[in-house]
Amino acid sequence: MMRIVYILIFSLLISCNNSDEFTTNISSPNNINEISFSISDAGQLYFSATAYSTNFIKESALGFELKRHSLKKNFEIIGTEVSTENTTWNTVWGQKEIVSNEYQELILHLKQKSTEILVDVIARAYDDGVAFRYFFPSQSALKDFVITNELTEFNFNGDYKAWWNFADYDNYEKIYYASPISQIGDSIQFARRPDKEERANMANTPTTIEVSNDLIISIHEADLTDYAGMNLLNTKEGTKLKAHLTPWLNGDLVRASTPFNTPWRTIQIAKTAGDLVESDLILNLNPPCTYEDTSWIETYKYIGIWWELHIGKTAWAEKTQFGKPITRPHGANTRNAKYHIDFAAKHGIPDVLIEGWDKGWDDMEGSWTGYGIFDWETSTDDFDIEEVCAYGKERGVRMMMYHETISDIDHYEPKMDQLYQMCQDLGIKTVKVGYTGDVNYDTKKKTYRQHHHGQYMVRHYKKMVQKAVEYKLQIVNHEPIKFTGEQRTYPNLMAREGVRGQEYNAWSEGNSPEHGLVLPFTRILGGPIDYTPGIFKMLLPDKSWSTAKFRVRTTICKQLAYYLTMYSPIQMAADLPENYEGNKAFEFIKSVPTNWSESKVLNGKIGDYYTVARKERGTENWYLGSITDEHKRTLEIDLSFLTSEKTYQATIYADAKDADWETNPEAVEIFTKEVSSLDTIEIKLASGGGQAIEFKQL
């Protein structure tokens, strides 16, 4: 690893009241992005942000309200420090192998004159964005404290177009909307509980905003550690958004002791939507990997007893589910597991996810909630976990363990050592942990005790991944807290769902053709996604084209392209094995890698189209995925990303001429041609379609 650090102290002056003597702004290394700070006559700190000579965020307030103190006004700047850094680091896995970490940093040392409380604001300016965080140093004036309001604002200089989904403290599985900033959260109805009505006008992050044709930004956070998740509140004061933290149920937002760092408040900045996807800002703002040995971490693909549960072919439970008798067979039985293992072994897939294998599914009543229901160590009567794991081991296939916690943290967390030891003993590599339902829901009292996105659960997710490291286990989370780049620190945290994923196509109105064209520019900016692509049969069993209520609104080739556009180091081939057998398109799923040395976005318009090319780590082979919304498109693709003076064989998986997501979604054409970096190819995408290409160097 190369490391070059330049440090220049411009000023570190103590007990001076004249803020004009201090440096209060920094620029990115390319001098394009700038973050500036000012302090009002009342002693309140503000920031603003500029990029490409556009002041897109005007003066925006900073500060806090604590239980015993207001940290809003009466501050003075008592010193500043400015430094620069230019380093590189290597990823364990990722969209690229080497990451550049170059920025200018400003530390503002603040003191509240009335209380003598000290607070630092640390800001960084990168070529791909700006960020800041608060730091409470050790001090006699403040030790233990409770945050009741974070005052951070994002006061935009125009009513720019935003892509957002609404926040309710508990769920990220939402539709994305496009609207002016001033309309974020409008007309949202909350059906689950009346107490969620007060949470209208809030968006999850990342929220992506188009400032102009040549400037696009995204608001998010990085290094969310021992803090509450940040939502963006539409204040209804023009175009001003405000940080709104997910609370503990008593109203506390964050419980802390000095010294204490908040997460980074991040603003990714780019000229194009594609440049935004290529940003490394979120990763760079997280600490390096906490453990030295990462040789046990793998990226790979898996299949599973999963889609059949969602489409109703089989059931999670044996006899009753949600208090009602089940008329279809239990999916996670020993025979079915062995069938999936045989298929995986035949096609070189190392893991089989098995949901519904353990006791507890029969005991849920009415919803995905419960308290003390699940027994994560005991198999159902028709499933023998030791027999299944031994059968898989003989064939080079592992079981991917599924723990549905139903957010019963009081019972799950004390069992983690025992459960993860069990996984290690059985030869299991990855545990998928689900968090449906209300956190610590008491089925007798009908009450819950925490929110999914509050400080309590942020602490839990960290405990879980740290505990998994001890047993060399990889983690995939469903119904999780959002990703904020922590996969750099804990690279055994492979992926998180946190999205309205594939399963919504099985039992709801489904995901629109443009849904997958929004996620790379919003949700996936935070980190890898477990979207579970690869569906080949677009309609539910026994449904005709004219009467089907539920369906997948893509073509097969768009599902193939998702393996490139829906980034994850651990990808599922989600459809039933019988739908893959004999289908030549399955060859692409088998061959597409899951770890990359380079990634280049070739084109992209949020909600419309997106093309990305990725180079397989350790080889010279490239893979390309291109997708469109409900409109068919023809795109010209320059192949200059290929190694010059080399010839490649391109295997192209294309929508057939008559393919269409509504009328003919399964029509695929597969052909090969020789190409080089001097060539341009024409990609034709059907309505709701896509194209996937494998470039192998000859």
Task: List active site positions.
Answer: 503
Contacts of 361 (CB under 8 A, 6+ apart): 316, 317, 318, 321, 380, 404
Question: What HEC string does 188-214 produce?
Answer: CCCCCCHHHHHHCCEECCCEEEEEECC
E strands in 165-294: 177-180, 202-203, 207-212, 215-222, 230-234, 240-245, 254-257, 260-261, 264-270
Backbone φ and ψ of 524, nearest 5°: -75, -10
Least Cα distance to 131 among 289, 290, 261 occurs for 261
Cα 674 from Cα 398, distance rounded (Å): 38
How far apart, in whole angstroms, are the C-alpha atoms of residue 515 and residue 177?
10
**Beta-carbon neighbour count of residue 664 at 10 Å?**
17
On whether the CB atoms of residues 439 and 407 are closer than 8 A, the answer is yes
**Taking CA 503 as the corner, what is the angle to CA 499 and CA 509, rounded to the nearest 5 degrees?**
95
Please report, as a single letter, which amino acid is at residue 28: S
CA distance 56 to 269: 11
Asked if 535 and 661 count as a contact pair (C-beta separation under 8 A), the reply is no
- What pairs with residue 270 in β-bridges? 216
DSSP conformation class of 558: H
Q: What is the Cα–Cα distance from 165 to 179, expressed in whole angstroms?
A: 11
Using DSSP bridges, classify how beta strands 633-638 and 596-605 pair: parallel, antiparallel or unpaired.
unpaired
Measured CA to CA, the distance from residue 200 to residue 583 in angstroms comes to 46
CA 35 to CA 50: how far, in whole Å? 7
From CA 651, how far away is CA 659, in angstroms rounded? 19
**Helices 385-394 & 334-347 angle (0-180, nearest 10):** 20
3-state secondary structure 316-382: CCCCEECCEECCCCECCCHHHHHHHHHHHHHHCCCEEEECCCEECHHHCCCCCCCCCCCEEEEECCC
**Beta carbons within 8 Å of 292's beta carbon, 6+ residues apart:** none
Q: Residue 233: which of 275, 210, 188, 202 has the closest Cα?
A: 202
